[in-house]
Amino acid sequence: MEVRVREPSGEIRWSEFSSSPTLMKDGTTCWDGIEFVITESKRVKEELRRREQQFSLIINSFPGRVAQIDRDFRYRFINNQFESFHGMKPDQVLGHTVAEVFGEDVFQQLLPFMQRALDGELVSTETRFETRNGKTFYGLNTYIPDRSPDGTIRGIFGVIFDITKIKEAEEVLKKSEENFRNSMDQSILGVRIVSDAGTTLYANKALLDLYGFDSIEELKNTPVTKCYTKESLAENRIRREQRKRGESGPLNYVTTIITKNGELRHLDVFRKEIMWDGVRRFQVLYNDITDRRKAEEALRERDIRFNKLSLNVPGMIFQFMRRPDGTYCVPFSSNSIKDLFGCSPEDVREDFSPIAKMVLPEDVDKVKDSIELSAKQMTTWQCEYRVQLPGQPVRWLFGQSTPEKLPDGSIVWHGFDTDITERKKEQVELQQTLDRLSKAMNTTVHLLAGAVEARDPYTAGHQTRSADLARAIAAEMEMPREKIEGIGMAGSIHDIGKLSVPAEILTKSSKLTRVEFALVKEHAVKGYEMLKDVESPWPLAEMVYQHHERMDGSGYPRTLKGEEIIMEARILAVADVVEAMSSHRPYRPALGVEAALEEIEKNRGTLYDDAVAEACLRLFREKGYRLPEFTL
């Protein structure tokens, strides 16, 4: 029996008691016993148990698969990783041989290595095997002799690490190296692989072409003095000396080579360390920048010319910048800035406010909004605005520039500002002249329309109503105001050529003869002849000439078709037909608006321009347009 006993000192000791009974003469029973103090034995056993638990925890947490195998190649122990990896329970493995668990083929593959471990050698090898579900795995197997306390080898420990991912990575790396070589072979950049000593190990075709060599041997055997200019050769020597001293030297530099035919070429060189066939080497890339160097030189010459030119250009040449935070500055401006804004180029290089202060307050928002719109849409900036310098009259300026977005998010405009004050005055005077001419033109048109009305009231009403509809169609098509005005003007007199047609034919209530109809059709030609020499901002004569032409070429008088017919005449053609069919004529009653619209819809794209027809139909059917009343 094992019990714990408290010592007088308070310490606890473990004791084991053993006794046997003895029958006394008086019939009583006595026990003779022995006490063994087993405290130390208990401590050793507890420590042994703790260490076994610790070992079990460590071995089962070990990332590899661990197995203990005896000399008969039977499994005596496996860790958790072994069980989970192979999907086997201990009773499927323990007590069974390697051949029974994994098959004879695997056993024969591993036997030479396990036998060497049984002979006392530490053995490592890589193995490839397939699991029961058909997956292929690679393992790094290490076999360690399992020695008993007396030194004899009673078995082996097998430790196996899964290196499948490493093997896959090696395969990827191998393919990557192959692809790397292929990419260098096909690269448009020159590529050279060199050793630490500078020996060329590889050169692609692009590099050989740069030098004009036929082979890598020719490149290797040509003295460097024939391959580089004196300046570049000296720079190369400096870089080599830096590398000899252990300094990395520049990884990017520009050098100038001499080609086989004696031509100079400028190369941008990039140098980096790589592994080549498993050895540290250097990859050197060569980008031919000869054309860029020439362009840079031309750019420098252009800048010199530009600076000379800017001194004599009327107005200011500038670079205007919008920073990412929304603030403005003018990195460059010609000296003319002093004349326009009263400040120097240095005043606005970092701050736009000296210019902003000169802009009239009522134009500040217009200028800023136009800049922001150009920045948002990356479209050309154009703006007319007013400035006033202290003690000077208000002046008009016109600015135009093209935006360019920079990598940091800034936007730079390249453009000019010029004084257009005199031009503005001329525009005002011109507009006044145009207004007077327009009034005179209107008066003339009204006189001409009155002449037509005096001979044929039906024609006069037709022209007025056709003009109103033509203006409405043009507005629906969002044409400029000036064109709408011109279309209305032409509509008011589009049948002016009928002044040459006898009144009795125009007012005839019966069907016209062939000769009479031919005379009526001549009104387009006669109208053109009346108007062709009239000065006007609009093509009035052509509109009148073409208003009976049709898109398919079936009209008159010139059988024009498609794009040969001006848009204004296409609009007049539709308006003319709709009004004519909707109204009463001497030779027939009104057919009605709906019949007229059906005619336009049926022949849109054939006789009538599709977009014009669509606008006309939309006006009547969706927007409630009505022809104006006209009373004879």
- pLDDT bin (cut points 50, 70, 90) of residue 306 is low
Architecture of domain 1-61: 2-Layer Sandwich (3.30)
Centre a 10 Å sphere on the Cβ of residue 269 and count the other Cβ atoms it contains.
19
Q: What is the pLDDT of residues 445-470, one digit of tens each?
A: 665 665 665 556 555 578 888 999 99
Centre a 10 Å sphere on the Cβ of residue 420 and count the other Cβ atoms it contains.
17
pLDDT of residue 176 exceeding 50: yes
* Closest by Cα among 460, 485, 476 to 620: 476
Which pLDDT score is estimated for 217? 93
* Lowest-confidence segment of 54-58, 70-74, 367-371 by average pLDDT: 54-58
Which pLDDT score is estimated for 494? 87
* Closest by Cα among 32, 31, 33, 35 to 13: 35
Listed by start position, the domains of the chain span: 1-61, 63-162, 200-293, 315-419, 430-621
Architecture of domain 200-293: 2-Layer Sandwich (3.30)
Q: What is the pLDDT of residues 337-350, one digit of tens each?
A: 998 999 998 999 99
**Domain 63-162: assigned CATH number:** 3.30.450.20
pLDDT of residue 632 exceeding 50: no
Q: Which residue has the tokens 């049948």?
A: 495
Is pTM beyond 0.85? Reply is: no
- Express the helix, strand and coil content of the chain in percent, nearest 5 each: 45, 25, 30
380-386 long-range Cβ contacts below 8 angstroms, 24+ apart: 381/413, 381/415, 384/420, 385/359, 385/360, 386/359, 386/360
Architecture of domain 430-621: Orthogonal Bundle (1.10)
Residue 178 CA neighbour count, 13 Å, CB half: 6
Q: Which residues of 528-565 are buried (b: 16+ CB within 10 A; e: fewer)?
A: bebbeeeebebbbbbbbbbbbbbbeeebebeebeeeeb
Which pLDDT score is estimated for 369? 94
pLDDT of residue 439 exceeding 70: no
Calpha distance 266→287 (Å, rounded): 8
Calpha distance 227→231 (Å, rounded): 12
- pLDDT bin (cut points 50, 70, 90) of residue 626 is very high
| Dihedral sign for Cα atoms in the order 229, 235, 238, 242 | negative
pLDDT of residue 172 exceeding 60: yes
pLDDT of residue 271 exceeding 70: yes
- pLDDT bin (cut points 50, 70, 90) of residue 383 is very high
* Lowest-confidence segment of 130-134, 439-443, 498-502, 519-523 by average pLDDT: 439-443
Calpha distance 37→388 (Å, rounded): 115
Q: What percent of the chain has pLDDT over 90?
A: 41
Which pLDDT score is estimated for 130? 72
**CATH 3.30.450.20 fits domain 315-419:** yes
Asked whether the domain spanning 430-621 has the same topology as the one spanning 200-293, the reply is: no
Mean pLDDT of 319-323: 92
Sequence letter at residue 353 = S
